[in-house]
Structure 1
C-alpha cells in the first residue's frame, strides 16, 4: 500500500525537493502552496495560511490520512527595531513562517495517521538572540514552541505520532545563492540531503529522533550532519 505525505510549501526550493524525492520513492504526494507543483500527485493552491483556507484544505483531503506531514514553507528577511520597515518585516515573517507552521499543526490534527510524523522547519539561528532579524527570530522561536507543544500527550495529535523540528544553518537554494553569491557553498546544506533524511525518518520509525526533538542541520565541506539540540 502506498504511503502518503503532505508537504506544506511544496512548491518552494525545499518543499519541491521533498515532493520530488518522495514521489520517486513511490509515495503518494500532496503539495500545498501559493502556486502549483506539477510533480505532486495532488497540488492544492492556497491564497494564504489562514483559517478559511486551512479548513478548505482539511475538508478537501478529509478522506486521506498522511503518514508524514512536512512544513517546508518559509522565508527570511532582516530588520532590527530601528529599521524603517520594522513592522512590515516582522509581519512578513509572521505570515511566511509562523502562519504556515500554525496551519500545518492544524492539518496534522485533522489528517495525520496514528504513528505518523509531523516535521516543522525552524532555524538554528533562532536558538540565540537575533537583534538584526527580529521578525525572523520570533517566527522561528514560535515554530520551535509548536514542535514542543505537539509532542505533549494532550496535544491533539493521533496516538504514537511524533513532532520534530529541523533547524537548518543555511540551505543551498537559488534565493540564498542570489542573496549571498560570494559564500562558500560547500558549507551550505543541499535540499536533497534534507529530503533524504526526512524520507529515512518517514519510512523507518526506529530512525526518528525522540518526540519534540529539535535537530540542527549543518554542512561543512559538503558533509551534512544532523545534531540534536
Structure 2
C-alpha cells in the first residue's frame, strides 16, 4: 500500500520554464514535494527531476530540442522566465534592451505556448507571468519591459481562445508588481518592501491552482497583492 501511494505522489507532472530564476526556483521547490518537475532554462536547477538546457540552442531550435526530452502530457506548464531593463525611447540602449527582453521574456512565453499545443493535458493549466504596471497603465520610462510584457499578455489572450489546446484547459496570467528578490533588494535598497510580492507565496498559489483549488477562469489575469503577509490574487 505504501509503495502504491508513493508512486501516486509523483503522477502529476509540470514543466517550469525559467525554473532556475528567482521566482522559478521557488516554483521548482514548491512543486517538487509531490510533483515530477521538468525545468527548462539556460541553467540547471539541481532540485528539478529533469533539466532541459537552452544555453547552446537557438530560438529556432527550441521546439525540436525540448521535444526530444519530453513525452506524453503534463498537468501544468508554467512560464516564469523573465528579465528587466529600464529606460525610455530616447535611451540609446533601447534597441539592445528590446532584444534582451525578447530573448529573456517573450521567447520563453512563446515556447511555453508551443509546448502546450502538444504536451498540455486535456484539463491542464498554462500559466504566464505578466506584469501589473504595463497591464494597467502606460509605462514609458521602462519601454522595452512594457512592450515585451504586453506582448506576453496578448499571447495569453490568444492561447485562452484554446484553438490548439484542449477546450477544457485553463490559461491564466499572474501580474506581480515588484517581487521580493535579492536582485530587487539590491537595486532598490531604500524602498519600502511591505507590499513587495513574496515569490514563495506566488509558487504556493500557482501550485494550488494546478491541484484544482480555487482555479482561475480561463483567460483571466490575476493581479497579485500582499495584504498582512498574505498573497491575494485579484482577477481582472
TM-score (norm 1): 0.94
> Is 2:45 aligned against 1:37?
yes
> Aligned to 1:43, what secondary structure does the other structure show?
strand
Whole-Å separation in 2 of the counterparts to 1:153 and 1:101: 16
Deviation at 1:224, TM superposition (A): 2.2
Unaligned runs of 5+ in 2: 1-7
Larger radius of gyration: 2
Match of 1:144 among 137, 153, 164: 153
Match of 2:112 among 94, 104, 108: 104
Alignment length (residue pairs) = 225
Deviation at 1:46, TM superposition (A): 0.8
- Residue deviations 1:149-184, cap 9 Å, x none? 111142x01241011000001111111111111122
Q: Which is worse superposed, 124-133 or 42-51?
A: 42-51
> Aligned to 1:225, what secondary structure does the other structure show?
strand
Deviation at 1:51, TM superposition (A): 2.6
Whole-Å separation in 2 of the counterparts to 1:54 and 1:109: 11
Partner residue in 2 for 1:15: 24
Partner residue in 2 for 1:179: 187
> Is 2:197 aligned against 1:203?
no
Partner residue in 2 for 1:55: 64
Partner residue in 2 for 1:161: 169
Deviation at 1:188, TM superposition (A): 0.8
8 Å contact kept, 2:202–2:231: no
8 Å contact kept, 1:49–1:100: no
> Aligned to 1:87, what secondary structure does the other structure show?
helix
Unaligned runs of 5+ in 1: none
TM-score (norm 2): 0.91
Partner residue in 2 for 1:46: 54
- Residue deviations 1:25-79, cap 9 Å, x none? x100000111000000111111257130222102320x23110000010011112
Partner residue in 1 for 2:231: 224
> Aligned to 2:194, what secondary structure does the other structure show?
helix
- Aligned CA distance change for structure 1 residues 72 and 97 (closer, same or farther; 3 Å): same
Q: Which is worse superposed, 144-153 or 213-222?
A: 213-222
